[in-house]
Structure 1
Amino acid sequence: MLTRILTALIIASVVRAAPVEQMKRATEASVTIQICTGNVGAAGCVTIPVVSDTCINFTGGLTFLNKEVSGAVIPGGFICTFAADFGCDVPQGGGVTLTSGSWSMFSVPGTAGLIDFNDQASSFTCSPV
């Protein structure tokens, strides 16, 4: 009898958890950003999955991007902030915020007009608009 109760509880817990896990995977897998060490669309571009409001440092497998980003493609409906330091900290003049579209880091909007942020990014974060 105890075995049947335990089996029923295990099956019920697995069935209840499955839909939540499927929804989580679907929302995380759909949005990506393209980051390039040269021109957008050329060799040297990588596609990185975006998890909303999560800082991505150019360390580990992304070390080759640290202080080497020259272009980015931001998906529609998102805004991404690139920081000159790790940890996505953006002191005054230490980062740029980009909306959807293709961007050359040689000329991006800063607080006082267009600035050159080429080869300066060490981290980024994106969020829905």
Structure 2
Amino acid sequence: MFTSKSLLFVLSAFLATTYAAPSSLNARKADVSATIEVCTDANFGGSCVTIPVVSDQCIDFTGGLAFLNEAISSAVIPDGFVCFFFEEFDCADSGSSSGDEVTLQGGTFPDFEAIQGIFGSPSFNDLASSLSCSPE
């Protein structure tokens, strides 16, 4: 059976694990990245998807995200982040009126009809083909 020494060892190990759990849980919470939500219809209707924010990484709306290409009409950007939506793939900043883009800082954007592109598009609704986000 158990000796008092072995029982004390098992109890000590249990208590160490129990008290260590909250700090490891907090560490895992800190590793969880922010996400943005984009939807194909205004007011967060249609098909919506949550996309993890990977700082300064370009996300093209191809492959599994192809249904979003030239279809985004609303978005939620977390506070403390800025996202750039591009009319072109590869987050191409054309620097001219041939391609447009829009910059959105943390907030809720229920209707891209009301968002004007920086090169003068009267609306950025159904134009985005790629995006890139980063902390402000």
TM over 0.5: same fold? yes
* Paired position in structure 1 for 2:131: 124
* C-alpha RMSD of matched pairs (Å): 2.3
Give the C-alpha shift of residue 112 in structure 1. Answer: 7.0
CA distance in 2 between partners of 1:44 and 1:120 (Å): 16
Pair 1:35 & 2:38 matched: yes
Q: Show CA shifts across 1:45-74 (max 9, x none).
A: 111111010000001100000011111111
Matched position secondary structure for 2:41:
coil
Matched position secondary structure for 2:44:
coil
Give the C-alpha shift of residue 102 in structure 1. Answer: 1.2
Q: Whose radius of gyration is greater, 1 or 2? A: 2
CA distance in 1 between partners of 2:49 and 2:35 (Å): 10
Distance 1:60 1:111, change over 3 A: closer
Distance 1:110 1:43, change over 3 A: closer
Report the number of matched residues: 107
Give the gaps of 5 or more residues in structure 1: 1-22
More displaced 10-residue stretch of structure 1: 73-82 or 43-52: 43-52
Matches of residues 1-129 of structure 1 in structure 2 within 5 Å?
26-27=30-31, 29-91=32-94, 92-93=96-97, 94-103=100-109, 104-111=111-118, 115-129=122-136
Matched position secondary structure for 2:45:
coil
Give the gaps of 5 or more residues in structure 2: 1-26
CA distance in 2 between partners of 1:110 and 1:65 (Å): 18
Which consecutive aligned stretches of 4+ in structure 1 deviate over 4 angstroms post-superposition? Answer: 23-26
Instruction: State percent identity of aligned pairs.
Output: 48
CA distance in 1 between partners of 2:81 and 2:131 (Å): 13
